[in-house]
């Protein structure tokens, strides 16, 4: 078991040597992730774990992969996507140009889901989807638009529950155990690394999605990131969070109006 003070040492190393700052991540969850990695990689002692961390620059990839949680799915929480379809997207339709930011996009399932919604609304051609994550490995996967075929049954059900009317399987071609999503969906996507802890706002958006990322941050870092979003949302733009995340603790809350009890807020001032 890695204890609290040892966690601090690891975080310090990660920052000093590699520039990754995890100090304001939610500690209980982070400590579990570090312990999990320590057990999975069968280190005989904390000292050896730390030595590997410091002396093997390739191991950092594995550490980032191990400490972050990249679980995601297409049309995750279908009812959320239903509101996107019914309320959010129609209100953006008259814009000459639609900019969307997926912050913490993981392997891209959320971005491809959004592209499908925009496509079906006839808006994809004038949209840009910026998809960012701190982990370059997941972005590499996201860019390919290839997801395991075993997931397609679930995704297709989610899609239908979200109000999808088409044949979901028309959006991909099966290649052995993989489903490759059609190129036209990816044409309007831009993938880039962006660390919410240390990087700045880089554009103004009509919709920012940051789902199931803030749960991994402590309250202080959540507030910083929400301020970053606040700086990056245009007038009447939207902010969408994960199903158990909230603006309630934030000073930016008065500037926003919640839509339909869903975790979607619209900027009103």
User: From the centroid of its chain, how far is CA 257?
Assistant: 22
With residue 175 as reference, give the H or E element that holds it.
strand 172-175
Select the binding partner of residue 193 from ligand SAM, other proteins, none (C-beta < 5 to 8 A, by kind).
none
> What is the C-alpha to C-alpha distance for residues 151 and 163, in angstroms, rounded to an integer?
19
Q: Which of 124, 145, 238 is nearest to 188 (CA)?
A: 124
Q: What is the sign of the dihedral through the CA atoms of 9, 12, 18 and 22?
A: positive
Nearer to other proteins, 200 or 261 (CB): 261
- CA-to-CA distance for 224 and 25, rounded, in angstroms? 12
CA distances from 176 to 57, 148, 207 (A): 35, 9, 35
Rounded least distance, CB 31 to other proteins, Å:
8
When binding is defined by CB under 6 A, the residue of 154, 195, 203, 260 that contacts ligand SAM is 195
Residue 213 binds which entry of ligand SAM, other proteins, none, with Cβ cut-offs from 5 to 8 Å by kind?
ligand SAM
CB 210 within 8 A of CB 229: yes
Q: Which does 28 bind (CB under 5 to 8 A by kind): other proteins, ligand SAM, none?
A: other proteins
- Map residue 213 onto helix, strand or coil: coil
Q: List residues near other proteins by CB under 8 A.
A: 26-29, 31-33, 69, 71, 77, 79, 212, 214-216, 218-219, 222, 242-246, 249
- Contacts with ligand SAM, 86-125, as mask; x by CB under 6 A: ------------------xxx---x---------------
Report in angstroms how near the CB of residue 215 gets to other proteins at its nearest: 5
Residues interacting with ligand SAM, by CB under 6 A? 68-72, 76, 104-106, 110, 133-135, 138, 195-197, 211-213, 216, 242
């Amino acid at each position: 078991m890695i204890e609290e003070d040892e966690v601090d040492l690891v975080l310090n190393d990660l920052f000093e040597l590699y520039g990754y700052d995890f100090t304001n991540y939610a500690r209980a969850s982070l400590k579990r992730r570090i312990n999990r990695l320590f057990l999975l990689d069968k280190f005989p002692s904390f000292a050896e774990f730390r030595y590997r961390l410091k002396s093997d620059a390739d191991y950092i990839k594995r550490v980032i992969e191990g400490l972050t949680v990249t679980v995601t799915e297409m049309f995750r929480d279908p009812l959320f996507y239903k509101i996107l379809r019914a309320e959010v997207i129609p209100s953006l339709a008259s814009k000459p140009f639609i900019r969307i930011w997926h912050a913490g996009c993981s392997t891209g399932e959320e971005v491809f889901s959004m592209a499908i919604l925009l496509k079906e609304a006839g808006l994809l051609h004038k949209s840009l989807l910026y998809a960012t994550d701190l982990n370059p490995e997941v972005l590499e996967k996201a860019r390919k638009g290839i997801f395991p075929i075993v997931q397609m049954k679930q995704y297709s059900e989610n899609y239908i529950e979200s109000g999808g009317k088409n044949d979901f399987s028309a959006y991909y071609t099966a290649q052995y155990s993989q489903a490759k999503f059609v190129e036209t969906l990816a044409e309007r996507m831009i993938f880039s690394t962006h660390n919410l802890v240390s990087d700045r706002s880089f554009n103004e958006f009509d919709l920012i999605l940051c789902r199931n990322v803030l749960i991994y941050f402590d309250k202080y870092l959540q507030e910083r990131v929400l301020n970053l979003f606040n700086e990056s949302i245009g007038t009447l733009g939207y902010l969408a969070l994960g199903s158990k995340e909230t603006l309630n603790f934030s000073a930016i809350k008065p500037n926003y109006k919640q839509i339909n009890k869903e975790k979607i807020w619209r900027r009103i001032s």
